[in-house]
Each structure stands twice: as C-alpha cells, then as structure tokens.
Amino acid sequence: MVFVSENRIKLVVGLGNPGDEYEDTRHNVGFDIVERLQELLPGAFTRQHGGNSIFLQGRFKGGNIYIQKPMTYMNLSGKAVAWLAKKKDILPQEIMLVYDDVDLPLGRLRLRKIGGSAGHRGVESVINELGCNSFSRLRIGIGSSGENGQIEHVLSGFSPDEHEIWTKVRTIAVDAVVMALSRGVAQAMNEFNGMFITDDEHSE
C-alpha cells in the first residue's frame, strides 16, 4: 500500500468585503482571521498588491506561504484568488479559504478538504474561477438570521453578548489554520472540528 501525503497549504485566503463600512461585520470574519494569522506566524512578511488583492509573502516550515485578502467585493473574490494562484504556481489543493457560514452557529467551525459553496457567493466565485472545488476551507459559524433577513444579518456586527465568544473563536480558528499549515488539514480537522466554543469555555 502506497501512502500519499496531502498537499501542503501554500495560500490562505480570507474572504470579506473591502471598505470601512464592512469592518467588524460577520461577513468579514475571514479578513479578521487572516490578519491575526499574519501577526502570529514567525518571520517577516512582505506586503504586496496585485490582482485586486492585498497579499503577504513569507516563509513557514521551510516553504513559501501567502496570505491574501481579495479587495474585490465578495462575489468576485475568485478573480483575485485565481490570479495569485496562477502567478505563484499554486495548485487548488494548496489553497485554504477562510470564511463565514450562516449554517453553523456562532462557536462552531468546520475544516474540510473539498466541498461545494452552500450558496456562499465568495466560495462560488472561487470555484468558478479555479474551475474546481478541490481547495480546503475553514468555515466559521456566524449563526442564522432568524427573523431578520440574511443580508442584514451577515452585514451586522456581533452583539455584546456574542463578542466574547467571537474573540475566542477567532483565536481558535487561527490555531486551526496554523495546525493545517504545519501538520496538515486532516490533523487540524481531527483536532478542531468537534469543538463548540461558548462564553465560558470550549469543549469537544
């Protein structure tokens, strides 16, 4: 039996919308997490602009690593991702997206190696531009809209009661990405997919 190792993640993309009016909204949790990721990874990163995106280039575990924030609006995110992947010869299997998910409650996160868009416009764009769905993804639960409209929900901020949970989720999500980068997505899935983070503690 031949063991085939999984692809090393070379590009981590946080999905969100550019502009001050979208800062600190649920739809921009991907931006928040990759910003924190860059702060915690060791070594120096160079900041660059290109392909309607901001991206950072550095080294991690002996290889190049890129952290990207598309500066298009969410539904065009794939153009920026495909541009950088082509420029740096990065395979879809070497990409991880980080984004919000209304189908998961706040306090949950899910890592997957492959999957559909589940209606997320940013993920749909990436699938369309790459021509496949074989990239990893970290879905961050932001809760459902309830009686409010979904657009209003995703473009709202976290309530004071939710903010403590979100702060913990952001820290744990960064830990999950770091483990995926260093030990592989499968290991990170085993470690983090069972967690439910509350305002008191997180548990499996």
Residues annotated as part of the active site: 27
Distance CA 183, CA 98 (A): 18
Whats the size of the chain, residue-wise? Answer: 204
d(CA 94, CA 199): 34
Q: How far apart are CA 42 and CA 38, in angstroms?
A: 8
Sign for the pseudo-dihedral over CA of 18, 76, 57, 108: positive
Measured distance CA(184)–CA(6) in Å, rounded: 7
Look up residue 166 and give its DSSP letter.
H
Tell me which residue of 90, 171, 76 sits closest to 136, measured CA to CA. Answer: 90
